[in-house]
């Protein structure tokens, strides 16, 4: 049986760091309010002249170097993002050109904060089918260009960044199972009001910014993340005690804590980066994975549960042996 296995990871964060103290001078909020309600202490903000592909490119180079692969080895490139450089060409092709990768499938997946999980799942299927030998999978976002810096309910949450992994075939267990879901009935709880075929030249009165009903999002997110995690455990006939690390989407600390509690997992077994990165949407999970690997907590042979939840709503989990 062929599995897909992570051969290398990488992450990249913009240089600019925006602290809670700085936000206190920009909007009616306090460091204590932000930390206690979201867990965020600082976040990275892309420069005006930076695009999502710039961040993704840097993360991809690191992941490829860690995996010991070159552009010639990559035969599939997938990017999970909500903030592509352009409507088209898709960001996958832009990265393909910059990395010197040619003549392989290159595309993007838009599933909001679940984008990386969707992309990772897609790459896993291609490798298991024997159609791909080396996949580059990236989650990258510049969310800060979509937020209203006068809206304290959203501007304190988000940050920018990119995370990448290289997947290769393996006879040893790697990705064990993937579980995806979505339900469009919740679309009005978290959304961006403008797109290329809707309201593009006639912005809504509320403004072209992320719109979110935080309390309602929280309730659905906690219930759904718990359910999709339990689905992964049941599919592999293992218990929560068999999980070495939970790597959740870093939306905010309260959702992370509530999800861990629902799974009866101690916070000591949860990789947390929300304090340093904020909510980086599709970049959140791969960056948290990279942090855990590079600081030595995550070791080869351990069992990891990755999960995410995003606007749509979309959700997903990946259970893997690292």
Active site residues: 113, 249, 279
Strand partners, 168: 5
| 21 Cβ contact list (under 8 Å, min separation 6) | 31
**How many Cα atoms sit within 13 Å of 202 on the Cβ side?**
3
Provide the 3-class DSSP secondary structure of residue 183.
coil
Cα(114)–Cα(116) distance, integer angstroms: 6
**How many Cα atoms sit within 13 Å of 264 on the Cβ side?**
5
Considering only CA atoms, give the Rg of the chain.
Answer: 18
Question: How do the residues of the chain divide into helix, strand and coil, expressed in percent and rounded to 5?
Answer: 40, 25, 35
Cα(252)–Cα(279) distance, integer angstroms: 7
CA angle 25, 154, 34 (to 5 degrees): 55
Query: Judging by DSSP bridges, how do beta strands 76-80 and 106-109 pair with one another?
Result: parallel
How many angstroms from the chain centroid is the CA of residue 286?
6
Token output for 148: 């209203």
Token output for 303: 């069992």
Cα(80)–Cα(270) distance, integer angstroms: 23
Cα(172)–Cα(192) distance, integer angstroms: 42
Cα(96)–Cα(155) distance, integer angstroms: 32
Residue with tokens 């593009």, as numbered in its chain:
200
Cα(118)–Cα(271) distance, integer angstroms: 20
């Amino acid at each position: 049986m062929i599995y897909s296995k992570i051969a290398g990871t990488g992450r990249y964060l913009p240089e600019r760091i925006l602290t809670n103290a700085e936000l206190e001078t920009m909007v009616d909020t306090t460091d204590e309010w932000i930390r206690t309600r979201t867990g965020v202490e600082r976040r990275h903000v892309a420069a005006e002249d930076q695009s999502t592909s710039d961040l993704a490119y840097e993360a991809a180079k690191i992941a490829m170097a860690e995996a010991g692969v070159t552009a010639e080895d990559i035969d599939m490139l997938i990017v999970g993002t909500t903030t592509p450089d352009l409507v088209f060409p898709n960001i996958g092709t832009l990265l393909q050109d910059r990395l010197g990768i040619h003549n392989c499938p290159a595309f993007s997946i838009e599933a909001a904060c679940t984008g990386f999980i969707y992309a990772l799942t897609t790459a896993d299927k291609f490798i298991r089918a024997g159609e791909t030998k080396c996949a580059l999978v990236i989650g990258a976002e510049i969310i800060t260009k979509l937020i209203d810096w006068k809206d304290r309910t959203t501007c304190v949450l988000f940050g920018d960044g990119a995370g990448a992994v290289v997947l290769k075939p393996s006879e040893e267990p790697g990705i064990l199972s993937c579980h995806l879901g979505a339900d469009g009935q919740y679309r009005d709880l978290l959304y961006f009001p403008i797109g290329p075929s809707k309201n593009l030249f006639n912005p809504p009165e509320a403004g072209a910014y992320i719109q979110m009903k935080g309390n309602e999002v929280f309730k659905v997110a906690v219930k759904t993340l718990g359910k999709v995690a339990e689905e992964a455990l049941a599919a592999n006939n293992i218990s929560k005690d068999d999980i070495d690390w939970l790597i959740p989407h870093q939306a905010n600390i309260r959702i992370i804590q509530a999800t861990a509690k629902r799974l009866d997992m101690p916070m000591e077994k949860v990789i947390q980066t929300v304090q340093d990165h904020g909510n980086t949407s599709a970049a959140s999970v791969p960056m948290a994975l990279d942090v855990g690997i590079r600081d030595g907590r995550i070791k080869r042979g351990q069992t990891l549960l990755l999960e995410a939840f995003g606007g749509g709503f979309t959700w997903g989990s990946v259970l893997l042996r690292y």
